[in-house]
Amino acid sequence: MDKENQKRNIPKILAFVFSGLLVSAVIILFLLNSQKTKNTAEFVTQDTSDSISENNLNQTGQQGKIDPTDEQDSSNGQQQNNNLDDNTVHSTIDLSSINHEKNKKTEKAEKTISESDSDSEDSDTSDSEGETTEPSTSEKSIYSLADYNYIALTFDDGPYDEVDLEILDLLNEYNAHATFFLVGSRIDYYQDTVKAIAEQGSEIANHSFNHPDLTTLSHEALLAEINLTNEKIKEYTGITPTMIRPPYGAYNDSVLEALPYPHIIWNHDTEDWRLRNANLISNSIENTRPGSVILMHSLFPETLEALKQSLPILYEQNYRFVTVSELYEIYEVPLIPHGIHNSPADELGIY
């Protein structure tokens, strides 16, 4: 009789065990998803403004100067500094404890840039003495300042799939590209988005690993912020970035001396980080000028909606959307390692 009862109970026992396993699996999946969501939420709630005005930089004693198109007054600047202090999310990874070999990776980057320039010069002088060679049609620039108004759309603080992937789709509609300044600590979470940016033909650049103020870091920590991000980007794309944008646009002589890359700032801040309103952001985007480098952020759906409104309008006005590197090439302004660049239009004194 007991054996018969045991046989009857076997299905119940199996069902109970299976239910327990199922519940455990659901809990594990929930915890994993919560961790990813938490990571995203921390970045979204961070006041991610890279737009520190010249007044703010002067207040903190930094030597770098930013000249946004719409400069904020000093009271707004002070409020912005307070927000940064209160809301910045600090990574649990202490990069200052990483002891890199003396400047090896930085020296390698500088060597790569100089070799690229040298190769270009060699090709120009390789013809026989006294001969002049016209570039072939394929070598000539495909861009024409006489026909179009070129601007560079740039996006900071990504990758973030919910916004970046739709931005890429929108760019494809206009046969356009942009420059994405990525934060290294986010790359593992959104590796497919990083790959998609590269595959679309847009430009990937370095925005540090933890988004700190680079002027506050030791030399070793400064190199770690850039080198680790470059390693992450190369891991998923095979590309090593050749440009950086310092978080908050903050730099000084020590930062410039340590990092052998062109430091890309901007001359047109959409203030999407502050406005968080598609119509207002759209108005800001459309208030651009040829040769501008436009600052936006990958974290805000409102920025995406603003682009959907603005790109058709700008396209009808003969604007074309290119990467930062392409924009400087079009205007024939060289990007200088250790140098600061706001926009080619500014550097040529067009405005």
- The mean pLDDT of 338-350, rounded to a whole number, is 96
Q: What is the pLDDT of residues 162-214, one digit of tens each?
A: 999 999 999 999 999 999 999 999 999 999 999 999 999 999 999 999 999 99
Considering the candidates 177, 211, 263, 297, report the single residue annotated as catalytic.
297
For residue 49, being part of any structural domain is answered with: no
pLDDT, tens digit (0-9, with 9 covering 90-100), for 2-33: 556 566 667 677 777 777 777 777 677 666 56
Residue 177 lies in a domain: yes
Total count of domains within the chain: 1
In the residue annotation, 213 being an active-site residue is answered as no
Q: In a 3-state reduction of DSSP, which class is residue 18?
A: helix
* 60 token code pair: 């903190």
Q: Is the pLDDT of residue 57 over 50?
A: no
The least confident of 18-27, 134-143, 283-292 is 134-143
Residue 249 within any structural domain of the chain: yes
Q: Is the pLDDT of residue 325 over 70?
A: yes
| Six token digits for residue 194 | 């990083």
In a domain, 284, yes or no: yes
Average pLDDT over residues 85-113: 44
**pTM given for the model:** 0.69
202 occurs within a structural domain: yes
pLDDT attached to residue 75: 32
| Whole-number pLDDT of residue 71 | 34
Pairing state of beta strands 319-322 and 149-158? parallel
Structure confidence at residue 13 (pLDDT): 72
Q: Is residue 192 part of a domain?
A: yes
pLDDT, position 21: 76
276 assigned to some structural domain = yes
Q: pLDDT band at residue 149, thresholds of 50, 70 and 90?
A: very high
Q: Which of 12-21, 32-41, 134-143, 292-301 is predicted least confidently?
A: 134-143
Q: Which CATH number does the domain housing residue 231 bear?
A: 3.20.20.370
- Does 86 qualify as catalytic in the annotation? no
Instruction: Give mean pLDDT, residues 268-290.
Output: 98
Name the burial class of residue 66, with classes exposed (0-12), middle (13-18) and buried (19+) by CB atoms within 10 angstroms of its CB: buried
Q: Residue holding tokens 């005005």?
A: 53
296: region left, alpha or beta (phi > 0 left; psi from -120 to 50 alpha)? beta
Of 156, 213, 269, 272, the catalytic one is 156
* Domain residue limits at 238: 98-112+141-347
Residue 22 lies in a domain: no
